[in-house]
Amino acid sequence: MKKTMRKIIISVIIVVKNGERYLSKAIESVINQTYPPDEILVVNGDSTDSTAQIAKSYKNVRYLHQQGKGLANARNTGIHNARGELIAFLDHDDYWTLDKLEVQINHFINSPDIQYSYANVKLFLEPGCELRSGFRQQQFEEEQVGRTPGTLVVRKSLFDQIGKFNPSFAIGCDVDWFTRTKDYNIKAVFLPQVLLYKRVHDYNLSKNVKTNKEELLKVIKQSLERQRQLTRVQ
């Protein structure tokens, strides 16, 4: 008798604020996956445009209003409400390759001990936007390692183990979370293929270079202290 593979339940969290221009593209890149997710949660952060109407127009989308302010709280609202064993994330202005979930889910099925996986990302410049400070043209021509939530598929239980996204970071909550996984030696797999297309435009949070640098320094300092504490415990 052929063995039936257990289906892994997966939730996709899309966070958005004033994203009417790009949201449909993001949602449809999830809906059209070769491995369809079990639920799609769109978490809206006080949008003043037609974001809510767009999200609610998709019958297979659960629409949520985020609790608290900022990117970290938006993602944490989604995590709290997600029903899946695995969680994937997407920002409203980015989109996935159509086999993104299938590629990553297969690794979880074949390697049940991994806690998360991530992959490469391809940056692209929104038409009409200028290449801003902090980016080089070469970055748009080559694949980049995507240690970013848009490439992430993660066991929901890992957030109980090492914590969710830290709301004290306006921009660096992503870097902080991935740094924690490194400090705690969380088992992960990197897939060297593009699974995310990330849009660079005039309204990316990362445009605030000063805040970004300050928060990166804070992440580094907290990581060093965490490593010292872990060493003492050992």
The domain spans of the chain are: 10-233
Q: Which residue has the higher pLDDT, 3 or 178?
A: 178
Dihedral sign computed on CA atoms, order 105, 101, 65, 57: negative
pTM for this model (two decimals): 0.89
Res 2: pLDDT: 41
Q: What CATH number was assigned to the domain covering residues 10-233?
A: 3.90.550.10
CB atoms within 10 A of CB 124: 12
Overall average pLDDT of the 45-59 stretch: 95
Determine the distance from the C-alpha atom of residue 164 to the mean position of all C-alpha atoms in its chain, rounded to a whole number: 12
Name the more confident of 137 and 176: 176
Q: What's the number of CA atoms in the CB half-sphere (13 Å) around residue 136?
A: 5
Residue 182 has a pLDDT of: 96
Q: Is residue 89 within 8 Å of 15, Cβ to Cβ?
A: yes
DSSP string across 166-219: -TT-SSTHHHHHHHHHHHTT--EEEEEEEEEEEEE-TT-GGG-HHHHHHHHHHH
Is the pLDDT at 196 greater than 50? The verdict is yes
- Section 38-57 average pLDDT: 96
One-letter amino acid identity for 215? E
User: Is residue 188 within 8 Å of 118, Cβ to Cβ?
Assistant: yes
